[in-house]
């Protein structure tokens, strides 16, 4: 549920705030060996990589084109590599007929309130990996 994801993001924000204010992250980095921290980060990111490989197998033109566009984009214009991949992916999806947007309209939208709900599975699957990736990925190299 979308509201579960919102709740998980709220929990992730609170965890990051607590870890940052208390200084626990610096102490944790001092205790945990670098290979262990790298393994935790790899474990969190592995499902995303496996899904990308699965996408290349199931839709080689679109997903493969995304990967190639991203790699070429990083070579030519690293700052805009993700944008290049996104545009190429959109074009390839449209050309191959894989983009389905029958009800797509170009209208302005306003804010819509979603009350967060707190589901343990969503918290463990979204909040905890999000905190690990953001704290270790962004701060780990500088502190380690």
Residue 112 domain flag: no
Instruction: Give the domain extent around 67.
Output: 60-97
Residues 6+ positions from 65 with CB-CB distance below 8 Å: 88, 89, 92
Whether residue 102 lies inside any domain: the answer is no
C-beta separation of 16 from 134 below 8 A: yes
Q: Is 32 within a domain?
A: yes
64 and 27 in a common domain? no
Has residue 71 been placed in a domain?
Answer: yes
> Is residue 104 assigned to a domain?
no
Q: What is the pTM of this model?
A: 0.56
For 41-69, the pLDDT digits (tens) are 788 778 888 998 898 898 899 999 998 99
The DSSP secondary-structure symbol of 96 reads: T
Residues 82-131 have pLDDT tens digits of 999 999 999 999 899 887 777 777 788 889 899 999 999 999 988 988 88
In a domain, 65, yes or no: yes
Residue 2 shares a structural domain with residue 37: yes
Quote the number of domains for the chain: 2
């Amino acid at each position: 549920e979308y509201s579960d994801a919102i709740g998980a993001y709220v929990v992730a924000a609170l965890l990051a705030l607590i870890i940052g204010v208390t200084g626990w992250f610096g102490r944790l980095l001092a205790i945990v060996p670098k290979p262990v921290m790298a393994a935790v980060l790899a474990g969190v990111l592995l499902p995303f990589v496996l899904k990308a490989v699965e996408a290349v197998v199931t839709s080689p033109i679109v997903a493969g084109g995304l990967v190639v566009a991203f790699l070429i984009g990083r070579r030519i214009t690293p700052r805009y590599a993700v944008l290049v991949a996104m545009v190429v992916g959109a074009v390839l999806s449209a050309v191959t007929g894989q983009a389905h947007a029958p009800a797509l309209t170009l209208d302005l939208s306003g804010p819509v309130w979603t009350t967060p709900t707190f589901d343990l599975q969503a918290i463990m699957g979204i909040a905890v990996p999000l905190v690990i990736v953001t704290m270790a990925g962004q701060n780990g190299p500088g502190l380690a």
